[in-house]
Amino acid sequence: MMKKMRVFLVCMMALVMLLTACSKGTTDSEDAKKSTEKNPKSTAKAEPTPAETQVDPAAQQGEVALDYDVSVYDEVIAEVKNVLALPAEEAAPEHMDAIREIGLVYEEEAETMLCYQYKDVNQDQVPELLIGLSAAGEDNYLQNSICCVYTVVEGAPNCVLYGHPRSSYSLLSDGHFANFGSDGEYIFFGEFYLSAENQILCKDYYFTYESQGNAETISVYQNATGNPDAASSNVLDMTQDEFYELEEELALRTLPLTDATTFIEFE
């Protein structure tokens, strides 16, 4: 019995000591918190969270600076709205052929389907105006089509890139543009970009055309000029199936215009 009593007393003493230590730790923690509140200039620095250390994706992809006056493009946006409303018998400027086609096909819905976005695609601190189809969430590059790209030259908007019903452009994540199309003789695709001098340049361009010396077979050609000229292009040892696979790889890199404004919202 005495042995059990000694064990009981030892256990009780251990429990008391444990409770005392916990209470002291809590008090010390509260005191430290109060000390920090009284001394906001403490040199202790909190470790940044992963969210704080991430680079803003918008900055990486050339989103427009908030202090840039994008109203320089208002006249272009107003012109697009006018083109969408043109009667069928009236023509539009050549660089707005794709916009005109959207207006004819979708009629009243065109101002909802067409959108615009400001984006500095060549990283020169001047945002470009991108006009295209509103298709967020779509993976099909045909739904990511860009009709026109404008930049500012000598204080005025200038169209530097435009598609038409047989040749469409789409935005890539690095600010480049993918091009897909066909003109009956050629099937082509390529990658283009806007230079620091506001010139559209070709990075890579592929097309199919009849083989040199044998009009009955088709060859795959490549160049960096962006023109389907077989005589000045490289003939590739590539099948048509491989050509289409390469085209699909480029298509999967295209992006819709995100955070864009539909034309029906522009007043």
Rounded-to-integer distance, Cα 267 and Cα 235, Å: 51
Confidence of residue 175 (pLDDT cuts 50, 70, 90): very high
DSSP-derived letter for residue 150 is E
DSSP letters, 156-219, are EEEEEEE-BTTEEEEEETTS-EEEEEE-SS-EEEEEEEE-TTS-EEEEEEEEEEEETTEEEEEE
Say what the pLDDT of residue 64 is. Answer: 55
Instruction: Tell me the per-residue pLDDT of 13-59, one tens digit each, with 9 for 90 and over.
Output: 443 343 344 444 444 444 444 444 444 333 333 333 333 333 344 44
Mean pLDDT of 178-186: 92
Residue 47: the pLDDT is: 39
33, containing H or E segment:
helix 2-38
Q: Based on the number of CB atoms within 10 Å of its own CB, is 253 exposed (0-12), middle (13-18) or buried (19 or more)?
A: middle
**How many whole angstroms from its chain centre is CA 250?**
14
Helices (H) and strands (E) in the chain, counts: 7, 12
What pLDDT is attached to residue 138? 47
